[in-house]
């Protein structure tokens, strides 16, 4: 009889897990994390060095000195080539499932891949005809 008294009631355990007290450990951990970040940032701000020299305040990017205005217009060709690269790169990714399953797909799968390559080449020829890849103007 004592064994049955020591066992937990499954109904009470389920209701306890869904109550607000079940989220108390998460709330404590969240408060601890925010407190830790606040304390560490405050201590480093108070104890850190405060030397503001011209070299320290100068802009630095990958070891190259900044030259000119950062607001200069860039050539649209750069963005066009970048977008075309992403477009054709994503299209090439679709060849991977075919390469893995080419035996299971058979001739029907092969014809579908040929159709895909045809669309791929039509788009590539269109891009070349429009001069999107020529840099001379």
Question: In this predicted model, what pLDDT tens digit does every residue of 98-134 receive, in sequence order?
Answer: 888 878 888 988 898 899 889 888 988 988 888 877 7
Give the residue-averaged pLDDT of 36-53. 91
* Separation of alpha carbons 137 and 121, rounded Å: 25
Asked if pLDDT for residue 13 goes beyond 70, the answer is no
> What residue ranges define each of the domains in the chain, with the CATH number in brackets?
2-57 (no CATH), 76-130 (1.20.58.1610)
CA 34 from chain centre, in angstroms, equals 25
* Separation of alpha carbons 82 and 84, rounded Å: 5
* Separation of alpha carbons 89 and 72, rounded Å: 29
Share of the chain above pLDDT 70, in %: 80
Q: At what angle do helices 95-130 and 76-93 cross, to 10 degrees?
A: 150
């Amino acid at each position: 009889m004592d064994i049955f008294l020591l066992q937990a009631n499954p109904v009470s355990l389920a209701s306890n897990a869904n109550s607000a007290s079940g989220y108390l450990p998460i709330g404590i951990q969240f408060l601890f994390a925010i407190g830790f970040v606040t304390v560490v940032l405050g201590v480093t701000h108070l104890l850190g060095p405060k030397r503001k020299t011209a070299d320290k305040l100068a802009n630095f990017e990958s070891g190259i000195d900044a030259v000119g205005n950062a607001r200069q217009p860039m050539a649209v060709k750069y963005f066009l080539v970048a977008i075309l690269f992403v477009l054709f790169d994503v299209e090439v990714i679709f060849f991977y499932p075919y390469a893995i399953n080419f035996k299971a797909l058979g001739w029907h799968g092969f014809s579908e891949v040929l159709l895909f390559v045809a669309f791929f080449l039509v788009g590539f020829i269109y891009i070349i005809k429009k001069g999107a890849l020529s840099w001379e103007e």
